[in-house]
């Protein structure tokens, strides 16, 4: 089991330059002091070719994140520029944890749901071995189908915690013999307390989740 750091860039951007400085300080500190922590810029970017390259440079080079989340709507030439970076990972939205996932992602395209078409199509893209996928913990009933399409891909699974995803089910249906899962709780941890003890309470919540995962892995 390893630990990952997945800041949502929105929370830094909302504070403008100070926010950006804070993000830079945090990632630099982590990369220096905890080089083994896998870092994910949860930015959900995606734009046409040359612009995606600029985003990739921002997160992979300037901020030196290990990975970044991207949106698939604009297709191949909006994602491949991210995949071109060696030793970096691109985590694409497939089936997200929110209610709005049912607006388009689970709708059928030629008798196949959009998220499945997204998964299948992306496997054909250049350097697709650098791709991982976002699959929400609140959608465990879909995991089996998803694993049929991408048995060897890492899945980033948000939605455990505040959004109510079930850790046990996520592990049961999401783990594969070949590859693990990146399970993510954000609000459940960072909003554990709004008092001065927020850091302690957040650490406690994170440890709680870690212990739960450890137990499931043992069983």
Instruction: Give CA angle at 137 (133, 138), nearest 5°.
Output: 125
75 binds its own copies (CB under 8 A): yes
Question: Min. distance of Cβ 44 from its own copies in angstroms?
Answer: 5
CB atoms within 10 A of CB 7: 21
Instruction: Give CA angle at 97 (93, 100), nearest 5°.
Output: 90
> Which tokens is 32 given?
């220096």
Strand ranges inside 136-215, DSSP E: 155-158, 181-184
Choosing from 7, 40, 46, 153, the residue that interacts with its own copies (CB under 8 A) is 46
Phi and psi dihedrals of 109, rounded to 5?
A: -105, 115
Question: Min. distance of Cβ 150 from its own copies in angstroms?
Answer: 17
90 binds its own copies (CB under 8 A): no
202 binds its own copies (CB under 8 A): no
Tell me if residue 116 is catalytic.
no
Q: Give the residue with the Cβ less far from its own copies, 2 or 17.
A: 17
Contact call for residues 89 and 130 (beta carbons, < 8 A)? yes
DSSP string covering 29-48: HHHHH-TTSEEEEEEEE--S
Choosing from 1, 2, 14, 219, the residue that interacts with its own copies (CB under 8 A) is 14
Choosing from 39, 40, 68, 72, the residue that interacts with its own copies (CB under 8 A) is 72
198 binds its own copies (CB under 8 A): no
Pick out residues in 97-156 that bind its own copies (CB under 8 A): 97-105, 107-110, 114, 117-118, 121
Q: Tell me the C-alpha distance between 13 and 169, whole Å.
A: 34
Binding site for its own copies (CB under 8 A): 8, 10-11, 13-17, 19-21, 24, 42, 44-52, 54-55, 57-58, 62-63, 71-79, 93, 96-105, 107-110, 114, 117-118, 121, 187
């Amino acid at each position: 089991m390893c630990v990952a750091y997945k800041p949502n860039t929105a929370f830094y951007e909302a504070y403008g330059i100070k926010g950006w400085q804070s993000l830079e300080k945090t990632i630099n500190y982590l990369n220096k002091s905890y080089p083994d922590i896998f870092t994910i810029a949860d930015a959900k970017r995606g734009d046409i070719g040359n612009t995606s390259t600029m985003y990739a440079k921002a997160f992979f080079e300037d901020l030196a994140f290990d990975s970044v989340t991207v949106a698939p709507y604009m297709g191949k030439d909006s994602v491949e520029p991210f995949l071109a970076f060696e030793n970096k990972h691109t985590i694409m939205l497939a089936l997200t944890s929110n209610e709005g996932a049912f607006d388009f992602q689970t709708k059928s395209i030629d008798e196949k749901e959009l998220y499945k078409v997204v998964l299948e199509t992306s496997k054909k893209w250049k350097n697709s071995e650098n791709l991982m996928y976002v699959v929400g913990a609140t959608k465990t009933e879909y995991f089996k189908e998803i694993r049929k399409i991408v048995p060897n891909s890492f899945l980033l699974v948000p939605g455990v915690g505040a959004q109510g995803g079930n850790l046990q089910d996520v592990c049961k249906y999401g783990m594969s013999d070949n590859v693990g899962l990146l399970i993510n709780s954000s609000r459940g941890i960072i909003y554990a307390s709004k008092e001065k003890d927020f850091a302690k309470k957040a650490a406690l919540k994170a440890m709680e989740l870690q212990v739960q995962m450890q137990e499931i892995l043992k069983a």
